[in-house]
Chain A
C-alpha cells in the first residue's frame, strides 16, 4: 500500500483534523477509559418522575394544582401550569443494589443493573418541542445545521475499523427531527452517521445490483481499478485520486464485513435470551442492542440507538396515555438495555464503552388531559454507565414536584463536555473552522463538566 493510500485509511476514519488533534489530546487520553459510545436515545420524551426521579410529594398531592408560584414561567405547548393538576406516578419505586438507587417498576430489569449506572436527575433545557429538543440534545443547538455529537466524536477520535463506518445509527425509521439528528452539519460528509438496518443488507446500497454475482461485481470493480490506475498514471501525487481508488476497495470489503456484523447466528442462545431476542416485545430492540455490542466490539466508535419512531409507537404517546405508552415502550427496551449492560460487563467491554441513556426531555409532573403528560424540558433525568463510571448513585435533584432542576443543574453542553472528557478529549480543543469561527460542540458553554463525580469523586 502506498503512503497516500495508507493516508486515506487514516483520513477516512480519523479526518484530517483529528491527526492534529491526536497530539493535542494526548495528555487527556491517558486518563480516558472509554474508546466507544453507545447512546440509547428514547425518542419522544420519557417521564422522569415515573422512572428515575421519585417524587413522593407529587404523589401525596396528586390531583391538586401547583402551590404558589411553582408553575410561573414554565410553558409547554399543551398544558397550562396554573390550571393543570399534579399527578403522582402510577409506578412504584424501589431501591436497588448496593448504592440503593431508586428506580421505578417500569425499568425493573435495568434496576437489577443499578450499581452500574449513574443517574443525572438535574438535566434541563429550554426546547419543549421534539425537533428542536432532539437537535439540542444531539448537537447543542435547537436549530438544525450543526454537527451531531456522534459526528463530532468521530471527528475527534477517528476510526478503529476501516471496514466499517465509525458512526452507526439504528432507528425505528422516522425521527421527528429527520436525519439531521445524526448529520455532520458543517463537518465533511464522512463524519455523518451511517444508518444500519437489521436485515441482510445493513448499509444503504451495500448489495450489488440485482443479478450481479460477487464475481461479476469484482470484475466490474477491477475494471474501475484498472481505469483509475491508467488515469492516475500521468497525474501522480494527487492523493484525492488515490483516495477514491481506496474508497472502492473499502466499499468492497464493507460488502463482505457488514453482513457478518449483523448476522446474529453465531451468538449463543443464552446471549440472545439476555437481550430478549425471540420474545415478541423485546426482539426488535434486543437485536439492535446486541448489534450495538457487536459493532463496538469491532471498533465502531459511536453507536446511536433510537427507541421509538414518529410513524409508530414512541414515548410521546404519553400525551394521551401515559400508562399505556410507557408500559409498552419500557417493555420493549428495559430487558434489552439491561442485557446490554450485563453483556458488556461480562465481556470486559463496559470499562472501555460509555453507555448513555437519555431522551429529548422529560414529561410534565402535571396531567395532560385525563391520562397523559406533556413535554417537559425544565428538569429531567438521564443516566450513564461504563467508562469507569461509579454507578449506583444520582447527581443533582429537581424540586419536590419534579418541575425544575434545582441542584447541580446540568445542561446539554455540560453533558457533552463530560462525554468528551470520558473519551479523552477536551471539548474546548476539538474545533472546526466554519464561517470564520473555530466552532465546537459546546459552543462557548460546557463549564459544568461532571467527570470527576462520575468517577466516584465529589461534585
Chain B
C-alpha cells in the first residue's frame, strides 16, 4: 500500500515536472489557442502519435523538440538538456497525466497575465521624489548603477517644454522658472506646459504616427481624403482635454455605436484616415481585403501592442495567435462602410444642398464660357496656321485618326504655338463679350462668397445589422471555414453576441471597444503607459512599444510598468496624470551627461534629437515667425520646384499652395500630410510615411539632412527674421540663454569676417543665425 502510494507519488512528480516544462515552453501556443490544431494541455491532445507512451523516438512531440520533425519546436530555441531529459523520461514512463488534476494550467506570458499590484520598493532614499523613482532606484542598485545629478533649471524647462509641446520655451519662461525660488516651482512649470494648447499638437502627433494618419489616400492619384483633418483636430482636442484614454479608445473604435454625440462619433475617423486605393477599377474585393487587413493589424498594434499580421496567412509562429483568431478579429470589421459624420445636422444638410445647386449652376457657366470663346479660338487658330507651312496646315486639317506619323509629329510640335490659350483669348474679347465674361465671373464669385468646408467628419459605421461572412482561407469549404467575431484566445477569448433585433449595426466594434477599454484587459493600460514612458524617456519599459508579444522585448522594470498601468486605470485613464507621475520624478530630472550605452536602467536622461516637426516648429518659434493658429484644413506651404520633384501628379493639383501666406508659417502638424510625398525637410528628419503604424521614429543623421538644414529656403528665411534682431537677442531666442564671454568674442569675429565677405552687416547677422540654427545645442533636447 505504502509502496503503491510512493509509486503514484513518484509518477505524479515526474508528470508534474514534465508538464511544467511543456507549460512554460509550449502552452502559450498549444494550450487553449490550439495552434495548428494541437493542444498539449490535456491528455486527449497527446493522442494521434503526438506522444506514444513508452516510445519517445516514435513520439512526434519528442522529434519536434529535437529538430527532427517538420519544424523545430519551440521556435524560440531548443530546450535545456535537463528539461529535454525530463520530458523523455516522462514519455518513456508512459506519459501519464498527474493523478490529482486532469488538466494543466494555461501558459504564462507576462503580458497576457492580469496587471499585478505592486507597491513601490523602499529604495532610493534621499533621491527618490515619488514612487517611480523607488522602482528605478531598486533596479539601479541591483545593477550597481547610480543616478546622475539633477539637470540645471534651463535644461529642465527646455526639456519639459519640448517634451510636452514640441516647442522651445520662450526666454522669459526660462527666466521665470530660474527665478522661482518658492517650493513647487518645478511642478508649476510642468503644469504651464501641460495646460498649453500646444500640448495637444505635440501628443496628437505621436498618436497620428500610430494611426498612420494622412490627408490623402495614396497610390497614383493620391486623392484627398476630404475632412481627414477633422480627425486630426479631434485627436489634438482629445489630448488637450485630457479625455480619459478608455473613452478615447471607444470613440475611435466604435464611436458610431456607443455615443450619440457626433463629436465623439468622429473618433471613427481612425478607420478613414489610413491609406486606401478604393478608386481602382475591378479590384474592389482586393481593396476591401486590404482595408480589413489594415484595420485588423493597426488596431491590434495600436491598442493592444500585438503584431497579429503574421497570423493572416498562418498560425503566428511566436505568439499564441492562431490564424482562426486573426479572422475572428477581422470579422469585427467585416461589416464596415465608410461614412460622413454630420457634426451639425442642419448645417450639413444645407451645405450639401448648396453644393448640389452650385454644381448645377456651374454646368451652365461652363457651357457659356465655351460659347463665348469658341469663335475667338477658331479665328486666332486660323490666323496663326495661315502663317505656317502648307505641310503643317495639312497636318492640322487631317482628322486625328487619319494623320500619318509625320503629320502627327508636326501636329504635336506646333500644337502649343497654334492653339490660343484662354488668357490670350480673354485679352482680345470685344466689349460685348468682355461684359459677358465679367458677368460670368461675378456669378461664379457670388457662389463662393461664403464657401468653406462643410460640417462633416470622415468615419465608419456598419452596412447594417447583418455582416458579410468571414472565412479562414484554405480551410473547410471552397471559401474556407466560416468564423464568428470574437476576441483573442490568448487574452481569454470569447464570442461576440448577436446584436439586438432592432440594432442598426452589428455592434461588433462596440463589443471589441468595450473589451479593449476595460481595466482588466492586461494589455491596454500597459501598452499606453509604456508609450507615454517611451516618448518621455526615449525608450519604453518595453522597448518594442507596439510588440508586447514573445518576440518583443521584455520589460526592464516589470513592476514599475504594472504599477503605472494600475495607476493609469485608478486615476481615470488620465494621460496627463501619467505625465505628472513621470515628469515629477527625480528620474526624469537627471542630467543627460552620459556615454553611448543603451541606458535602459536610466542612470541619466536620454538626450534626443528634435523630431522632424519639432525642428521646423522650433525654427519658426525662435524666429518669431510662427503662426499659432490651431486646427482646420491642411495648409500647403510654398516649396521650390526642386523640392516638389517626384510627385505623382501635377503640382497644381497635388500641391495647391495655400493662398494666404500667413498660413504657411503654422505648425507642421497642420501641413498637408500626403501619402506619396513628404516635405523634404521633414522626410530627411525621419517623419514616417504614414502608411504603416509607426510606434517609434528613427533618428538618423545624414549629410542630406545637414544640407537641407543649412541651405534650404526655409532655414534662410528664419535666419533672416532672426537676423533683424540684435545678435545678442537672436542668440537668446535660439538658445534661451546669454552668450558667454568667449562666445561673444567668437560672434564678434564671425560677424566682422562675414561682413567683409558678404559686404553687409545685415547679411552677416543672417549668417550668424543660420549657423546657430544648425548647432547641436539647438537641435538636441538635453
Closest to A328 in B: B409
A144-B691, A180-B676, A244-B776 are known contacts. Are A215 and B707 too (CB-CB below 8 A)? Answer: no
Is A220 a contact partner of B770 (Cβ separation < 8 A)? Answer: yes
- Provide the residues of chain B in CB contact with A145, threshold 8 Å: 275, 689, 691-692
B526 to chain A, nearest CB (A): 16
Residues of B within 8 A of A204 (CB): 642-643, 645, 680, 704, 707-708
B100 at the interface (CB under 8 A from A): no
Does residue B705 face the partner (Cβ distance < 8 Å to A)? yes
Q: Is the CB of B710 within 8 A of A251?
A: yes
Contact flags B538-558 to A (C-beta < 8 A → 1, else 0): 000000101101011000000
Which of the 9-residue segments A50-58, A93-101, A190-198, A333-341 touches chain B? A190-198
In the complex, which of the residues A227, A238, A247 contacts B772, with contact meaning CB atoms closer than 8 Å?
A227
How near does chain A come to B764, taking the closest CB pair, in angstroms? 9
Given the complex, which residues of B lie within 8 Å of A406, measured CB to CB? none
Q: Which of B596, B609, B775 is A227 in contact with, Cβ under 8 Å?
A: B775
- Choose among A12, A144, A179, A197 the residue that contacts B703 (Cβ–Cβ < 8 A): A12
Interface string of A211-254 (1 = CB under 8 A from B): 11101100111011011101110111111110111011011001
Interface presence of A359 (CB below 8 A): no
User: In this complex, what residue of A is CB-closest to B218?
Assistant: A144
| Given A75-B282, A188-B686, A227-B775, A247:B646 Cβ within 8 A | no
In contact, A189 and B698 (Cβ under 8 angstroms): yes
Closest to A232 in B: B776
Q: What 1/0 mask marks residues of chain B from 758 to 769 whose CB sits below 8 Å from any chain A CB?
A: 100001000110
Bound Cα distance from A189 to B704, whole angstroms: 10
Interface pair A180/B595, CB less than 8 Å apart: no
The interface residues of chain B lying within 8 Å CB-to-CB of A178 are 222, 646-648, 674-677
Q: Is the CB of A77 within 8 A of B281?
A: yes
* Shortest Cβ distance from B685 into A: residue: A189
Residue of A nearest to B592 (CB): A235
Q: Which residues of B contact A207 (CB under 8 A)?
A: 711
> How far apart sit A224 and B683, CA to CA, in the bound complex (Å)?
23
Min distance, Cβ B544 to any Cβ of chain A, angstroms: 6
Q: Is the interface of B mostly helix, strand, loop or mixed?
A: loop
Q: Are B704 and A174 in contact (CB under 8 A)?
A: no
Q: How far is the CA of A192 from the CA of B687 in the complex (A)?
A: 13
How far is the CB of A223 from the nearest CB of chain B, in Å? 4
A402 within 8 A of B: no
List which A123-141 residues lie within 8 A (CB) of chain B: 129-132
Interface residue A324 (Cβ < 8 Å from any Cβ of B): yes
Are A244's CB and B701's CB within 8 A? yes
Q: How far is the CB of B686 from chain A (nearest CB, A)?
A: 5
Partner of B220, one of A4, A176, A188, A255: A176
Q: Give A183's nearest chain B residue, CB to CB.
A: B689
| Residues in A neighbouring B301, C-beta threshold 8 A | 435
Q: Is B447 an interface residue (CB 8 A)?
A: no
Q: Are A205 and B711 in contact (CB under 8 A)?
A: yes
Q: Is there a chain B Cβ closer than 8 Å to A18's Cβ?
A: no
B779 part of interface (Cβ distance < 8 Å) = yes
A131: contacting residue among B220, B684, B713, B767, CB under 8 A: B220
- Picked from A175, A185, A221, the residue with its CB within 8 Å of the CB of B646 is A175
Residue in B closest to A310 when the chains form the complex, CB atoms? B648
> Per-residue CB proximity of B280-291 to A under 8 Å, as 1/0?
111100000010
Contact A219 B750 (CB under 8 A): yes
Asked if B707 and A185 make an inter-chain contact with CB atoms under 8 angstroms apart, the answer reads no
Contact of A173 among B281, B549, B645 (CB under 8 A): B645
B771 near A437 with CB under 8 A, answer no
With contacts A223-B750, A241-B776 taken as known, whether A129 is within 8 angstroms of B595 at the C-beta atoms is no
Chain B residue contacts of A4, Cβ below 8 A: 596
Contact call B770/A174, Cβ cutoff below 8 A: no
Assembly CA distance A248 to B707 (angstroms): 8
Cβ-neighbour of B309 out of A245, A250, A311, A435 (below 8 A): A435
Enumerate chain A residues within 8 angstroms of B476, measured Cβ to Cβ.
Answer: none
Residues of A within 8 A of B (CB-CB), count: 83
Cα distance A244–B710 when bound, in Å? Answer: 13
With A231-B776, A235-B593 already in contact, the answer to whether A186 and B692 are too (CB < 8 A) is yes
Within 8 A of B (CB), among A389-441: 435-437
In the complex, A39 has a CB within 8 A of chain B? no
- Contact residue among B594, B676, B700, B777 (Cβ-Cβ distance under 8 Å from A189): B700
Q: Is the CB of A223 within 8 A of B768?
A: yes
Does A144 contact B275, Cβ atoms closer than 8 Å?
yes
| Residues of the A chain whose Cβ atoms lie less than 8 Å from the Cβ of B693 | 435
B774 / chain A contacts, CB cutoff of 8 Å: 224, 248
In the assembled complex, how far is the CB of residue A212 from the closest CB belonging to chain B, in whole angstroms?
7
B6 within 8 A of A: no
Partner of A197, one of B310, B642, B695: B642
Separation of A183 and B249 alpha carbons in the complex (Å): 32
Does any Cβ of A come within 8 Å of B219's Cβ?
Answer: yes
Closest beta carbon of chain B to A397's beta carbon, Å: 27
Could you say which interface size class chain B belongs to? 35 or more
Check: B405 CB closer than 8 A to any chain A CB.
yes
Judging by beta carbons under 8 Å apart, are A310 and B593 in contact?
no
A70 at the interface (CB under 8 A from B): no
* CB atoms of B689 and A185 under 8 A apart: yes
How far apart sit A272 and B309, CA to CA, in the bound complex (Å)?
A: 51
Which chain B residues lie closer than 8 Å to A183 at the CB level? Answer: 689
Chain A's nearest CB lies how many Å from the CB of B223? 12
Give the residues in chain A near B222, CB-CB below 8 Å. 178
The verdict on B754 contacting chain A, using a C-beta distance below 8 Å, is yes
CB-CB contacts below 8 Å: A302-333 with B: 310-311, 323-324
Report the bound CA distance from A194 to B301 in whole Å. Answer: 31
Neighbour of A205 across the interface among B646, B648, B712, CB < 8 A: B712
A171 proximal to B (CB < 8 A): yes
Query: Is the CB–CB distance between A143 and B707 below 8 Å?
Result: no
B757 within 8 Å of A (CB atoms): yes
Among B219, B301, B405, chain A packs the most CB atoms within 10 A around the CB of: B219
Does A165 sit at the interface, judged by CB under 8 A? yes
Report yes or no: A177 in contact with B676, Cβ–Cβ below 8 A: yes
A245 to B772, CA, bound (A): 13
Contact B767 A247 (CB under 8 A): no
Q: Is the CB–CB distance between A224 and B775 below 8 Å?
A: yes
Which residue in A179, A195, A227, A240 is a CB contact (below 8 Å) of B701? A240
A324 B408 Cβ-Cβ under 8 A: yes
Question: B701-743, CB under 8 A of A: which get 1 and which 0?
Answer: 1111111101111001000000000000000000000000001
| Residue B649 at the chain A interface, CB threshold 8 Å | yes
Given contacts A209-B716, A237-B596, A436-B551, contact A189 B702 (CB under 8 A): yes
Say yes or no for B99: interface residue by CB 8 A criterion. Answer: no
Please report which residues of chain A, range 146-197, place their CB below 8 angstroms from some CB of chain B when the two chains form the complex.
165, 171, 173-180, 183, 185-190, 192, 194-195, 197
Docked Cα-Cα span, A187 to B688, in Å, equals 10
A247 touches B701 (CB 8 A): yes
A206 CB within 8 Å of chain B: yes
Contact B767 A219 (CB under 8 A): yes
Q: List 21 A-B contacts (CB under 8 A).
A: A129-B280, A129-B283, A131-B277, A132-B277, A145-B689, A165-B704, A174-B648, A175-B648, A179-B678, A204-B708, A205-B711, A226-B746, A228-B775, A228-B776, A235-B593, A238-B596, A240-B699, A244-B701, A435-B301, A435-B307, A436-B551
Q: Which 6 pairs from chain A and chain B are nearest by CB?
A: A178-B676, A145-B691, A237-B595, A436-B547, A436-B307, A131-B220
Task: Spell out B's residues near A (CB within 8 Å).
Answer: 218-220, 222, 275, 277, 280-283, 290, 301, 307, 309-310, 318, 401, 405, 408, 544, 546-547, 549, 551-552, 592-596, 607, 609, 642-643, 645-650, 674-678, 680, 683-686, 689, 691-695, 698-708, 710-713, 716, 743, 746, 750, 753-754, 757-758, 763, 767-768, 770-772, 774-777, 779-780, 782
Given contacts A77-B282, A183-B689, 4 further A-B contacts (CB under 8 A): A180-B689, A224-B775, A244-B609, A248-B774
